[in-house]
């Protein structure tokens, strides 16, 4: 199969996103053009042909804005600029142009729940003092106790440690995440106007879509008396919870949708919303953001029953909103799926959810999956085999597929990062109890040699393990059996095969084998089991492992061509 990109008919339509393959780039770890150890926008520009050859429809750039990197760039100091270490606005424009020239759409990350503490607004708030308009943009409160030295509540932040931080004049501010990420006050109209300006700024620059960070957290009811942590966690999350998924957050997105629809084609958005599944369609509705992430596969084992439940449930949710669903196996917040599938199974989806303490946000990543990333029980080869099968199944599903940089190389999580090289605030705020998300953010290996395996000319900002060399792009490019070759071929075939957004399950006679058919007759069969399965009749288009002699081996997916009737 050639690595040149075929035409992208869907790219021309307003609904390009419905079944798009979106490739997530974590810019600081993709490619470093200037030898400072940090990936940058010119680095991405130098790799656009790689992205086109891979066959992706869109690129989602995690934050590249000025940031002190207290949370890997999700602490934004200026929403309408590029971090000077990552380039300039002119570099951004050049990158957008180069991607568009190859038919690849551009999605940027918007972080509206909190700013960086270095944002000019927060600096003004610190200077301006109590009762000022500048403090009204954030959530400041007096402390408890006679001298106010106790935080307003005993709430715990998502990254561990207290959710309130005291400033010099004695007031406290609220932060869902790290203390360098003060939450904005979405009851303040100025905050709304600021984000409308930001969205327009990027949309005018040609950005095609937005990924909305923690979209369910923006609005809060912090009227007194504030509940305790225990009271808070006993409250149902039904649209009226003080902190999560409040009904009125949709008013913000209705306003954003009106802005998106002023553009031709309308700008798209996808919500990162960790909410009850029944409430996902609110965010995915065409009057709201239009699409929402479905993270259920991050919780599932490589297990036929779990996959089928997740697929059925999410196709149903998508049809309720009129959107298409989004499939995700890896991202910058969770242990890479090759590693998850190399670890002992979870049990059931309910077990996975129950075994995790804390907020839903933590379920897939920070709580226990991460602690397993360093497990001695890791079966590296088995993990990759299952990851390849799961990916090929996912790419056969209706809806859009979100891929995370490096998964196309079959990369494992990097567990061996020394404590003094870790960057993730979860590691520091839990005093090392959670190792954090650095292991999936290690810079990509492009070549088998060199100071940072082709990432750049200097040591990378997170250390690459020696075993990364064997998975370098240059190594895998020449190997017909590599995971990179599998992704390239699958993405190109998918573009030719993609059709209506339906799926019909077929009988397989085995609980551990799933088979479905798409409207054009394209069939996807996955053997999740440990025993071979008779290969169904039909022309084999691609398989995640060696198929032959009428056998679909254990833990393998195959695509079968539509049959002429
Ligand atoms: C979700 C992002 O995916 C994660 O990386 C970040 O730490 C939090 N939101 C806070 O912005």
Query: In whole angstroms, what is the distance from residue 476 CA to residue 518 CA?
Result: 30
The residues carrying an active-site annotation are 213, 262
Query: In whole angstroms, what is the distance from residue 155 CA to residue 71 CA?
Result: 20
Tokens of 167: 């400033």
Query: In whole angstroms, what is the distance from residue 184 CA to residue 413 CA?
Result: 33
Phi, psi at 138, each rounded to 5°: -120, -170
What global pTM score does this model have?
A: 0.95
Check: CB of residue 387 under 8 Å from CB of residue 120.
no
Give how far the C-alpha of residue 128 lies from the chain's centroid of Cα atoms, to the nearest Å: 37
Phi, psi at 196, each rounded to 5°: -65, -40
Query: In whole angstroms, what is the distance from residue 160 CA to residue 407 CA?
Result: 28
The CB density around residue 453, as the number of other CB atoms within 10 Å, is 23
Cα-Cα-Cα-Cα torsion 331, 332, 337, 342, nearest 10 degrees, comes to -170
Check: CB of residue 469 under 8 Å from CB of residue 448.
yes
Ligand 1, atom 3, residue with closest C-alpha:
333
Please report the pLDDT score of residue 319 as a whole number: 92
3-state helix, strand, coil in the chain (%, to 5): 35, 15, 55
Please report the pLDDT score of residue 376 as a whole number: 62
Q: How far is the CA of 74 from the centre of ligand 1 (A)?
A: 6
Tokens of 340: 């998850």
Query: In whole angstroms, what is the distance from residue 386 CA to residue 390 CA?
Result: 6
Best substitution site from 79, 113, 333 to test ligand 1's pocket, by max atoms within 8 Å of Cβ? 333
pLDDT string in tens for the chain (565-residue length): 333 344 454 556 889 999 999 999 999 999 999 999 999 999 999 999 999 999 999 999 999 999 999 999 999 999 999 999 999 999 999 999 999 999 999 999 999 999 999 999 999 999 999 999 999 999 999 999 999 999 999 999 998 899 999 999 999 999 999 999 999 999 999 999 999 999 999 999 999 999 999 999 999 999 999 999 999 999 999 999 999 999 999 999 999 999 999 999 999 999 999 999 899 999 999 999 999 999 899 889 999 999 999 999 999 999 999 999 999 999 999 889 999 899 878 766 666 555 444 444 443 443 345 455 556 678 899 999 999 999 999 999 999 999 999 999 999 999 889 999 999 988 888 887 778 899 999 999 999 999 999 999 999 999 999 999 999 999 999 999 999 999 999 999 999 999 999 999 999 999 999 999 999 999 999 999 999 999 999 999 999 999 989 999 999 999 999 886 5
Q: How far is the CA of 406 from the centre of ligand 1 (A)?
A: 19
Residues lining ligand 1, Cβ inside 6 A: 71, 74, 111, 177, 213-214, 272, 332-333
Which segments within 445-517 are labelled E, that is strand? 504-505, 513-517
Ligand 1, atom 10, residue with closest C-alpha:
74
Please state whether 239 falls in left (phi above 0), alpha (psi between -120 and 50) or beta: left
Q: How far is the CA of 62 from the centre of ligand 1 (A)?
A: 10
Ligand 1, atom 6, residue with closest C-alpha:
74
Specify burial of residue 461 (Cβ count, 10 A radius: 0-12, 13-18, 19+). buried
């Amino acid at each position: 199969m050639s690595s040149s990109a075929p035409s992208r008919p869907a790219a021309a339509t307003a609904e390009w996103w419905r079944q798009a393959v979106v490739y997530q780039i974590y810019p600081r770890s993709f490619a470093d053009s200037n030898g400072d150890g940090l990936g940058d926008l010119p680095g991405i520009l130098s790799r656009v042909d790689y992205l086109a050859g891979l066959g992706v429809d869109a690129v989602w750039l995690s934050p590249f804005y000025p940031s002190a990197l207290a949370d890997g760039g999700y602490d934004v100091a200026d929403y309408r600029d590029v971090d000077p270490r990552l380039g300039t606005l002119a570099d951004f424009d050049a990158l957008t142009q180069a991607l568009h020239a190859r038919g690849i759409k551009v999605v940027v990350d918007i972080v509206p729940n909190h700013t960086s503490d270095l944002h000019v607004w927060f600096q003004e708030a610190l200077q301006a003092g109590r009762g000022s308009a500048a403090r009204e943009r954030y959530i400041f409160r007096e402390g408890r106790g006679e001298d106010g030295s106790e935080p307003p509540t005993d709430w715990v932040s998502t990254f561990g440690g207290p959710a309130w931080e005291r400033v010099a004049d004695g007031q406290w501010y609220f932060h869902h995440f790290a203390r360098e990420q003060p939450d904005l006050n979405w009851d303040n109209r100025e905050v709304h106007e600021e984000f409308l300006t930001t969205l327009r700024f990027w949309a005018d620059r040609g950005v095609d879509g937005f990924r909305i960070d923690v979209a369910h957290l923006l609005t809060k009811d912090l009227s007194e008396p504030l509940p305790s942590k225990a009271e808070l966690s006993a409250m149902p999350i039904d649209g009226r919870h003080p902190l999560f998924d409040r009904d009125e957050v949709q008013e913000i997105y209705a306003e954003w949708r009106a802005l998106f629809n002023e553009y031709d084609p309308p700008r798209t958005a996808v919500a990162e919303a960790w909410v009850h599944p029944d409430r996902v369609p609110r965010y995915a509705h065409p009057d709201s953001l239009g699409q929402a992430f479905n993270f259920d596969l991050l919780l599932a084992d490589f297990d036929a029953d779990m996959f089928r439940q997740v697929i059925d449930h999410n196709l149903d949710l998508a049809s309720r909103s009129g959107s298409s669903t989004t499939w995700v196996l890896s991202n910058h917040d969770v242990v890479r799926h090759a590693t998850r599938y190399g670890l002992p199974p979870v049990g059931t989806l309910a077990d996975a959810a129950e075994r995790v303490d804390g907020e839903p946000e933590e379920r897939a990543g920070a709580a226990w999956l991460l602690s397993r990333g360093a497990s001695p029980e890791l079966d590296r080869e088995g993990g990759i085999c299952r990851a390849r099968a799961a990916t090929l199944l996912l790419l056969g599903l209706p809806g859009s597929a979100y891929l995370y940089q490096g998964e196309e190389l079959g990369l494992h999580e990097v567990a061996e990062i020394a404590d003094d090289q870790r960057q993730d605030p979860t590691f520091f705020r839990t005093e090392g109890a959670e190792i954090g998300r650095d292991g999936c953010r290690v810079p990509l290996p492009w070549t088998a040699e060199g100071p940072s395996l082709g990432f750049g000319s200097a040591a990378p900002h997170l250390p690459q393990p020696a075993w990364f060399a064997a998975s370098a792009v240059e190594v895998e490019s020449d190997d017909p059996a590599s995971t990179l070759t599998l992704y390239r071929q699958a993405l190109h075939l998918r573009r030719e095969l993609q059709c209506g957004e339906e799926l019909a399950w077929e009988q397989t006679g085995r609980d551990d084998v799933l088979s479905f058919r798409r409207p054009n007759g394209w069939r996807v069969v996955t053997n999740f089991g440990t025993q071979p399965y008779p290969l169904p009749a039909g022309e084999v288009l691609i398989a995640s492992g060696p198929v032959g002699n009428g056998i679909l081996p254990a833990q393998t997916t195959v695509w079968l061509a539509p049959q002429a009737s």
